[in-house]
Amino acid sequence: MNKSQLKQRVCDAIDYNREKIISIGEEIFSNPELGYKEIKTAGLVSREMKKIGLEVEENIAVTGVKASLPGERPGPVIAVLGELDAIICREHEAADKETGAVHACGHNVQIAAMMGAAIGLTVSKVLDELDGSVEFMAVPAEEYVELEYRGTLKEKGEIEYYGGKQELIKRGYFDDVDVAMMIHSLNLQGDKKVIVGGTGNGFIGKNVQFIGKESHAGSAPEMGVNALNAAMIAIGNIHAQRETFPDQERVRVHPIITKGGDIVNVVPADVRMETYVRARTIEGIRTSNEKVNRAIIAGGYAVGAGVKISETPGYLPLLRTAELDELFRNNAKEFVDESQIIEGADFTGSFDFGDVSHLIPALHPFIGGVEGNLHTRDFKIVDKDTAYILPAKAMAMTVIDLLFDGASVAKSIKENFKPAMTKEEYLAYLEENSRIIEKSEIG
Ligand SMILES: [Zn+2]
């Protein structure tokens, strides 16, 4: 059978299972769970993978699921990924009343598209005619949130890193993977349906504690050290750095106060802040981060408060592999007009797939069919075929391109690929950027 016949077989299988694939996406949407807590979502993935006869490994990196589709003949390993977790957006009408979790980043679409590709490639038995194998990985905890909770998992030794892909890389789940791919939903303007070749910012994550001294806010404020004032001055200081951030680094610093005090008639002695420092390059992240730390410490200095900055490595910038983008673009063209595909995009948001893209050839197109901005109350799926079915088919077809004809395409992409980091360098980077900076009380 030639390559286009194999692709047709896979697409027919996906069409035959269209309702099933969409219902998986919708069921996950109705049961949103936050990172490292995706019990029901992981259970669903595991059940569906077993139903199509795949061997499943559960609880990889706490809640992750991996299913393997071995080929008839040895060859490169292609990983198709999807992310299990939701975000918190209490303003969204579909948000879980208790946790505030909602799939306003479209990760439910990713899982459905991954399942669609899995169904298509498995039931069509095309692997019999290809060289290599496919792994489907439902990855936990992409959203870098609930830093305190993840800190407790780390203390208990259940995780080392806050991002699911970081954890999986460290545990060796990408050691034998030659090419990785996944999609992300995005509200595309006009009639656009697909973006290929997008790149994104990396970041360092920060948990900050300002340590002051409590006193009666009415009768003896002069006896206290106001940690909230330290935090407010720190935020002002951060704003004063913004004109020094190089334009090309597209720096984003966006602190939030997660604890502003305990009760109103006591001068706040314990104030907490979280922030990211994002930039386009690792060097840009580093230099901006030093400025932000200086600004935070100066806030403490101004009022005589102590400062404790706990840094976590965040995610690396998202890199592209142009040959993979080209394959995906050609497959997407089977379903949309060429004018509906955008080439290249520059995101200031971040993805933990960026970490994967530093190590192996990685494909991360954005797919439309949704409306409203990510992480907002307006996000919704409006065109199920574009959102769920198109990426399932285009990813499965890209797998065929990679593994057809002795897997010559996958092999040549791998040969031409120069990783930005080795795994050892990567783990050293994570280690270097997990640190605590403490300035004890000055006043
Ligand atoms: Zn997101």
pLDDT (tens place) for every residue of the chain, 443 residues total: 999 999 999 999 999 999 999 999 999 999 999 999 999 999 999 999 999 999 999 999 999 999 999 998 999 999 999 999 999 999 999 999 999 999 999 999 999 999 999 999 999 999 999 999 999 999 999 999 888 899 899 999 999 999 999 999 999 999 999 999 999 999 998 899 999 999 999 999 999 999 999 999 999 999 999 999 999 999 999 999 999 999 999 999 999 999 999 999 999 999 999 999 999 999 999 999 999 999 999 999 999 999 999 999 999 999 999 999 999 999 999 999 999 999 999 999 999 999 999 999 999 999 999 999 999 999 999 999 999 999 999 999 999 999 999 999 999 999 999 999 999 999 999 999 999 999 987 55
List CB-based neighbours of ion ligand 1 within 5 Å.
Answer: 105
CA–centroid distance, 219 to ligand 1, in Å, is 46
CA–centroid distance, 171 to ligand 1, in Å, is 24
CA–centroid distance, 274 to ligand 1, in Å, is 17
CA–centroid distance, 59 to ligand 1, in Å, is 22
**Two domains, one topology: 3-199+317-426 and 202-314:** no
Cα distance between residue 117 and residue 363, in whole Å: 15
Cα distance between residue 64 and residue 44, in whole Å: 12
Judge: domain 202-314, CATH 3.30.70.360: yes
SS3 content of the chain, % helix, strand, coil (to 5): 40, 25, 35
List Cβ neighbours of 162 (8 Å cut-off, separation of 6 or more): 141, 144, 147, 150, 154, 205, 312
* Backbone torsion region of residue 230, taken as left when φ is above 0, otherwise alpha when ψ lies between -120 and 50, otherwise beta: alpha
To the nearest 10 degrees (0 to 180), the angle between helices 107-123 and 39-51 is 10
Report the 10 Å Cβ neighbour count for 85. 25
Please name the CATH architecture into which domain 3-199+317-426 falls. Answer: 3-Layer(aba) Sandwich (3.40)
CA–centroid distance, 392 to ligand 1, in Å, is 20
Express each pLDDT in 191-206 by its tens digit: 999 999 999 999 999 9
Phi then psi for residue 124, to 5 deg, are -80, -10
CA–centroid distance, 91 to ligand 1, in Å, is 16
- State the alpha helices, DSSP H only, in 304-373: 322-332, 353-357
CA–centroid distance, 377 to ligand 1, in Å, is 13
**CA 121 to chain CA centroid, nearest Å:** 25
CA–centroid distance, 143 to ligand 1, in Å, is 6
CA–centroid distance, 347 to ligand 1, in Å, is 12
CA–centroid distance, 375 to ligand 1, in Å, is 6
Phi then psi for residue 168, to 5 deg, are -70, -40
CA–centroid distance, 374 to ligand 1, in Å, is 7
Count CA within 13 A, CB hemisphere, residue 195: 21
CA–centroid distance, 72 to ligand 1, in Å, is 37
CA–centroid distance, 351 to ligand 1, in Å, is 8
CA–centroid distance, 146 to ligand 1, in Å, is 14
CA–centroid distance, 250 to ligand 1, in Å, is 18
Q: Which two tokens stand for residue 258?
A: 């997660």
Per-residue confidence (pLDDT) for residue 189, from 0 to 100: 86
Q: Where are the domains of the chain?
A: 3-199+317-426, 202-314
CA–centroid distance, 309 to ligand 1, in Å, is 24
CA–centroid distance, 125 to ligand 1, in Å, is 34
CA–centroid distance, 257 to ligand 1, in Å, is 20
CA–centroid distance, 415 to ligand 1, in Å, is 32
Cα distance between residue 18 and residue 284, in whole Å: 44
CA–centroid distance, 87 to ligand 1, in Å, is 7
CA–centroid distance, 282 to ligand 1, in Å, is 21
CA–centroid distance, 249 to ligand 1, in Å, is 21
- Asked if residue 269 lies in contact with residue 408, where contact means CB atoms within 8 angstroms, the answer is no
Per-residue confidence (pLDDT) for residue 442, from 0 to 100: 57
Q: Which two tokens stand for residue 28?
A: 């996950």
Farthest CA pair distance, the chain = 86
CA–centroid distance, 106 to ligand 1, in Å, is 8
Express each pLDDT in 54-73 by its tens digit: 999 999 999 999 999 999 89
CA–centroid distance, 268 to ligand 1, in Å, is 33
Which amino acid is residue 178, in one-letter code?
D
CA–centroid distance, 393 to ligand 1, in Å, is 23
CA–centroid distance, 103 to ligand 1, in Å, is 9
CA–centroid distance, 349 to ligand 1, in Å, is 8
CA–centroid distance, 132 to ligand 1, in Å, is 32
Whole-Å CA distances, 209 to 259, 278, 347, 361, 409 = 9, 20, 30, 39, 51
Cα distance between residue 325 and residue 348, in whole Å: 20
CA–centroid distance, 442 to ligand 1, in Å, is 39
β-strands 366-367, 184-185: how paired? parallel
CA–centroid distance, 15 to ligand 1, in Å, is 28
